[in-house]
Amino acid sequence: MHIVDWLPTIASLAGYASKLDLKWDGINQWDALTGQATSTTPRTIYIATASGHALRHGDWKLIERATGKSQLFNIADDPYEKADLVTAEPTKLAELQILLAQQRALDDPRLPEDLVGLPK
C-alpha cells in the first residue's frame, strides 16, 4: 500500500462516491487491508521530483536522475538498494524505462494557480 491509497480507501469506507473522475493516483485498498484480496497484481507507482523521476513496478525500482544517471534495484532482493543492476539487467531496465516514459507523458506541466510564483 502506498500513501496515495489512503484517500480513496477512506473515501470508500465513508461512502463517498464522486460523479466526476477525480483522477486520484491511489486505489481503494480495503480488501487488501482486511485480507479479502487473495492476490494483487504488480502496480506501478510513479514519483516525479525536480531532481528526477522514480518508478516502482512490482519488485523493481527505477530511478532516473535529472543528470541523466539511471539506477535500477530489485527491492525484494535488495531492500536497502545497495546493488545497482543497470548493467546487469538491461532488459528490465528497458522495460521500466518504457513504463516511466508512459507515466511522464501523463504529467501536466501546468502548476495550479495557487502554487504559481512560490519557491521551488
The answer to whether the CB of 55 falls within 8 A of the CB of 31 is no
pLDDT surpasses 90 at 23: no
Q: How many domains does the chain have?
A: 1
pLDDT value at residue 31: 87
62 closest CA partner among 46, 41, 80? 46
The tens digit of pLDDT for each residue in 32-55 reads 888 888 766 777 889 988 899 999
Q: Is 43 helix (H, G, I), strand (E, B) or coil?
A: coil
Position 44 in a domain: yes
CATH number at residue 39: 3.30.1120.10
Query: Range of 101's domain?
Result: 33-108
pLDDT value at residue 120: 65
* pTM score over 0.75: no
Position 73 in a domain: yes
Cell numbers given for 24:
486520484
Q: How far apart are CA 54 and CA 106, in angstroms?
A: 14
pLDDT band at 72 (very low <50, low <70, confident <90, very high): very high
Fill in the amino acid letter for 82. Answer: K
7-11, 43-47, 83-87: range with highest mean pLDDT:
83-87
